[in-house]
Amino acid sequence: MASLGSFMSVLNFLLFLFVGLISSSEAAIKKYQFDIQVKNVSRLCHAKPIVTVNGRFPGPTIYAREGDQVFVNVTNHAQYNMSIHWHGLKQYRNGWADGPAYITQCPIQTGNSYTYEFNVTGQRGTLWWHAHIFWLRATVYGAIVIMPKLGTPFPFPQPAREFEIVLGEWWNNDVEEIEKQGNKLGLPPNMSDAHTINGKPGPLFPCSEKHTFAMEVEQGKTYLMRIVNAALNDELFFAIAGHNMTVVEVDAVYTKPFTTQAILIAPGQTTNVLVHANQVAGRYFVATKAFMDAPIQVDNKTATAILQYKDIPNTVQPILPQLPASNDTGFALSYNKKLRSLNSAKYPANVPLKVDRNLFYTIGLGKNSCPTCLNGTRFLASINNVSFVMPQIALLQAHYFNIKGVFRADFPDRPPTPFNYTGAPLTANLASLTDTRVNKIAFNSTVELVLQDTNLLTVESHPFHLHGYNFFVVGTGIGNFDPAKDPAKYNLVDPIERNTIGVPTGGWTAIRFQADNPGVWFMHCHLELHTGWGLKTAFLVENGPNQGQSVLPPPKDLPSC
């Protein structure tokens, strides 16, 4: 019996080691070093210094697996203060790693370092990271690829290979100077000079033959494209000549697959598509251009990359895809309507059915008096007539350390003066306030937020991003939201789950989420132009009553203001 007992002890020990090896292989520690550096880069026959990460534009991709712990040490060698946002990562209780400057952290000053530490929990798919201060995300951005846990397959056919495709914008002149000049004149800054695909505008632009991203594919194989819109101010169409795409994921959430010839992707959003290389072997343009269905000027030039079949020479002329018209509202509405959560047993759509807090936020543009500006006025933007003023101390720090006078927690649940939001164009400011206000939300309460576009100066589509959370898009429509009729049309079964959603031009979008992540979480329009004008606010989600339901203590190397 003693020998049997010894054998069983050894067996149990070996089993313990085996289980430990499996768990350690599943949950790894990933470490990255980000050096913020200024580097000279040439595009469109222009060379200029840009802010980069590790000298790369776009910056390096973060690769992780669901369950991993990630450390990114950021050292700032540039002349600008810096912060990095890990867009779409929920950062449970860990707003200190979220990154928006003066919201969850003070920026990393020149010559200093800060280590972002976060766990990748319950998420898999494509997200991205970017600078979250000034307009520096024009060049400081990159993809985040989160693979499923080991042994867990995709809920769609395994691709032969993956490609990361990050869409962006390029200015020939210094972006920070362009923004400063616009603010000084009280006018919108100059629009970009080109769109880019992985930092390259493609051969339709001058001096750009060598600045073209190319993907080689083999006949009969299927490929996964991880697409990110990192543009500052433009919603974008994206298509591949001669090839359909099957949408399988948005914002790191699996979708019911559907096939389309083009996709629409707003700044801040990600979309994964499957592409089957089933056409005549050749070279095909991959193209992107802006979507804008309001009377507003945008950069309407088309950027291209190349999908090239193996063994096809570079002398073969690529074919251009047929992109939707720049103002194709019908395509935009139809495309977004097709997006549904997978809602399977393994990946359920846990839509909140009972609502504890109803919020109604109107989105407005306006003008304030500015005697020194060109026209005597300056643009501003507001939510519920409050144009957000950035504080000098980070909101999360003020909340955690109970620092008084930094913000007010009385952001209005609805606009103070109801009006015909999308009626005839309005030029009044409706007495917009400039203030630092947040909305206090009880821990674990369920929130329904209706975002309503308005015709203050003009209607326009607005992509809104909520930090720290995913939300379900339960309804959308054109015109004014009707609380008596529109909720009856909600999709509460399989609505798409996202972190960034486009509010349609002259319309509304209703989202729901459960406030189970304590802290201070930024919510803003992801058009950098509008964010700078004040189209932003934050939610202060209170701590829960139990252990493990409150904001974590801050790290020791937290930057100071």
CATH for the stretch 156-338: 2.60.40.420
Task: Reduce the DSSP state of residue 528 to 3 states and report it.
Answer: helix
Task: Reduce the DSSP state of residue 20 to 3 states and report it.
Answer: helix
Tokens at 466, concatenated: 């909520």
Mind giving me the DSSP string for 443-475? TT-EEEEEEEE--BS----EEEEETT--EEEEE
Whether 25-152 shares its CATH topology with 156-338 is answered: yes
DSSP 7: H
Burial (CB count <10 Å: 0-12, 13-18, 19+), residue 493: exposed
- On whether the CB atoms of residues 422 and 459 are closer than 8 A, the answer is yes
Give me the residue label for tokens 């505008």: 201
- Rounded Cα distance between 463 and 527, Å, is 7
pLDDT for the residue numbered 7: 39
Alpha helices by DSSP H, 125-284: 175-185
Domain boundaries, the chain: 25-152, 156-338, 357-549
- Rounded Cα distance between 119 and 392, Å, is 28
pLDDT for the residue numbered 367: 87
List Cβ neighbours of 158 (8 Å cut-off, separation of 6 or more): none
Instruction: Encode burial over 404-428: b for 16+ CB neighbours within 10 A, e otherwise.
Output: eebbeeebbeebeeeeebbeeebee
- On whether the CB atoms of residues 481 and 420 are closer than 8 A, the answer is no
- On whether the CB atoms of residues 227 and 245 are closer than 8 A, the answer is no
- Options 3.40.50.2300, 3.80.10.10, 2.60.40.420, 3.40.630.40; which CATH number does 25-152 get? 2.60.40.420
pLDDT for the residue numbered 19: 37
- Options 2.60.40.420, 3.40.50.1820, 2.60.40.10, 3.30.465.10; which CATH number does 357-549 get? 2.60.40.420
Tokens at 395, concatenated: 């909101």
- On whether the CB atoms of residues 259 and 323 are closer than 8 A, the answer is no
Residue of 453, 368, 430, 364 whose CA lies nearest to 183: 368
- For the chain, 561 residues long, the average pLDDT of each consecutive 10-residue run is 39 38 64 98 96 98 98 98 98 98 97 97 97 97 97 97 98 93 89 97 95 97 98 97 98 98 98 98 98 89 97 95 96 97 97 98 91 90 95 98 97 94 75 89 98 93 97 98 98 98 97 98 96 96 96 94 86
- Rounded Cα distance between 85 and 97, Å, is 8
pLDDT for the residue numbered 387: 95
pLDDT for the residue numbered 295: 87
Burial (CB count <10 Å: 0-12, 13-18, 19+), residue 552: middle
What is the residue type of 398?
A: A
Neighbours of 84 (CB within 10 A): 31
pLDDT for the residue numbered 432: 74
